[in-house]
Every structure is written in C-alpha cells, then in structure tokens.
Amino acid sequence: MTSSGLSHVTFIVRDLDRMERILTDVLGAVRVYDSGSRTFSLSEERFFLIGDGDAATWVAIMFGDGGLPRSYNHVAFQVERADLPGLRATIANLGLDIRPPRSRVDGEGDSVYFYDDDGHLFELHAGSLRERLAVYTPPAAR
C-alpha cells in the first residue's frame, strides 16, 4: 500500500491567535474548526483550509512550546508570481523575519521564505515541479 498524498500539516505554536493571523493574512487560510478549551488531541487546536475545493490543504495548529531552532526544513505553498511582492509586504507588515533568498537557476521559480514566531520556515513558491525538473534535467536526457 502507498500513500495517496498529504493529509495535513500540524504546527505547534505558542500563540494560536498570532499563527491564525499569519495563516489567514499571508496564505488566505479559512478557519474551519476551533477546539476552544476542549482538547480531543494533545492541546487546544484550530484547523484551516488553504486553497480551494478538494485540493485544499488542511493545516492544523496546536498550542504548545513551539520554539524551534531555525533550519531550512520548511513547508512550501504554491502562489502566483505576480502576488509575491504583495505577499512580501504583508509578511513584513506582520513583523515576520524574511529569510534572504537562496541562489536560483533561471527558470526554477521564485520564492519568498519567512519564519513564524516559533521558528517554522515557510516558503511561498511561484513555480512547479515540472518547471524545475525541466531546468535541472540535461537537454540530452529530455
């Protein structure tokens, strides 16, 4: 048996309201559940959908000690290239730390990387796997 795809992503955070603002303001997330003081899982949690329809990504946030050491481990969300400048401004207005971009090969897509208050690294990526593989694959192998 193999996986049929990603089910959800969970982030442990110290401030649920702050993370909700990041998800809604930057990623356009819609909250679909808030446990309030009830805890069916490990702690208070909220669920969000990012994107449309059946292809939407389920993101969960849970209250806890979310302080992580910063690394390049990250989750990337697909965005339109034309939206990147506005998204960068929204991220800056939220006071989030924007990571300097890594070097890129022409054609592999553009990204904005930023850390939330708990050390999670997010990438907003304008490009696709198909585009990246076309750039990385030598012409003779295509």
Give yes or no for a contact between 118 and 130, defined as CB atoms under 8 angstroms apart: no
Residue pointed to by tokens 């990250």: 74
Instruction: Please tell me the distance from the alpha carbon of residue 133 to that of residue 89, in angstroms, as a whole number.
Output: 30
In the DSSP assignment, the letter for residue 139 is G
Instruction: Please tell me the distance from the alpha carbon of residue 91 to that of residue 114, in angstroms, as a whole number.
Output: 8
Catalytic residue (choose from 45, 80, 108, 131): 45
Active site includes 45?
yes
Give yes or no for a contact between 139 and 133, defined as CB atoms under 8 angstroms apart: no
Active-site positions?
Answer: 45
